[in-house]
Chain A
């Protein structure tokens, strides 16, 4: 198959049939190429073979339905993987990290607003800001450690908005939790810090599991098979 013919298949999927999902386009390009190659061996023209391959997928409607279903399956796959990773934080050896995080968070909550801290530091808004800062630092550090080039070039196109949307949602939840209009922060933290620390630890572990899934590189075999 020539480069032009491969480009024609790619154009057929993207421009003529409006597909957008890169992974699906790559998979279907290979399938179309195999089908067309097999037909061309039997002296069928490239154009006719492409048309036959297209019909086998149910035309444009079939392709678009397939893509819609693929997005849903990807989301389901991500959430399944996230849950599996989340559970690993409660088994050895990762449970030690979870216990450590709980102890540190609990210690911070107990010492917060005690031992004559300055007024600005012990206000609700300072803890909101500190939590936001901690969350952002954690995310950036986590991603940078797992994929040093993540912020330079997006390994998986379209992933960045997903990461930041997730972060935005988590930050909003943290913000709402600590805003005094919803919960009397000082009273809650001072009187029952262990449950609050547990909640924050769970949020942290969930974030870590999400980041792990979102930053994992696709399995790619570098062997070049002719």
Chain B
């Protein structure tokens, strides 16, 4: 994945996290990175340096809640959506999809020209 794609990914990271948690109920940091790799067949990779600050920011905003569980002798922190987070996940996903559609119209105008 090149630097440009990385920038785009960083901008939409919060939506990706919210969307994944909407589908999976609860996940931990490493699991999120692996899930993104799996869903995109390795084409997209979330860097740890971007993932954790995004998770912590969403938690501070009250969109995520956490619980800790002992796994293999170490503490594992699971993130899940709060009620506000669930609403926000739907809203932010819709916003991003609309944005992508507009972007596609700009980048590839011919594809959307009505047939004469």
Contacts and interface: CB of A to CB of B under 8 A. Distances in A.
Contacts of A27: 29, 52, 75, 77
Interface stretch (B7-15, B55-63, B85-93): B55-63
A92 interface: no
A84 B65 CA distance: 15
A218 B59 contact: no
A201 interface: no
Interface stretch (B16-24, B66-74, B103-111): B66-74
A62 to B, nearest CB: 5
Given A221-B67, A225-B70, A30 B76 contact: yes
Given A218-B68, A221-B68, A57 B49 contact: yes
B47 interface: yes
Q: Which of A3, A30, A58 has the most CB of B within 10 A?
A: A30
B53 A66 contact: yes
A16 interface: no
A30 to B, nearest CB: 5
Chain A interface size, as a band, is 35 or more
A106 interface: no
Interface of B: 28-30, 47-49, 52-53, 56-57, 59-62, 65-78
25 contacts: A3-B73, A6-B74, A26-B75, A27-B75, A30-B71, A30-B77, A33-B74, A53-B48, A56-B47, A57-B49, A66-B49, A69-B53, A70-B52, A70-B53, A70-B56, A73-B53, A74-B56, A76-B60, A80-B62, A218-B68, A219-B67, A223-B69, A224-B70, A225-B72, A225-B76
Q: Which 5 A-B pairs have the closest CB atoms?
A: A34-B30, A221-B69, A73-B60, A219-B67, A58-B49
Interface of A: 1, 3, 6, 23, 26-31, 33-35, 53, 56-58, 62, 66, 69-70, 73-74, 76-77, 80, 84, 218-226
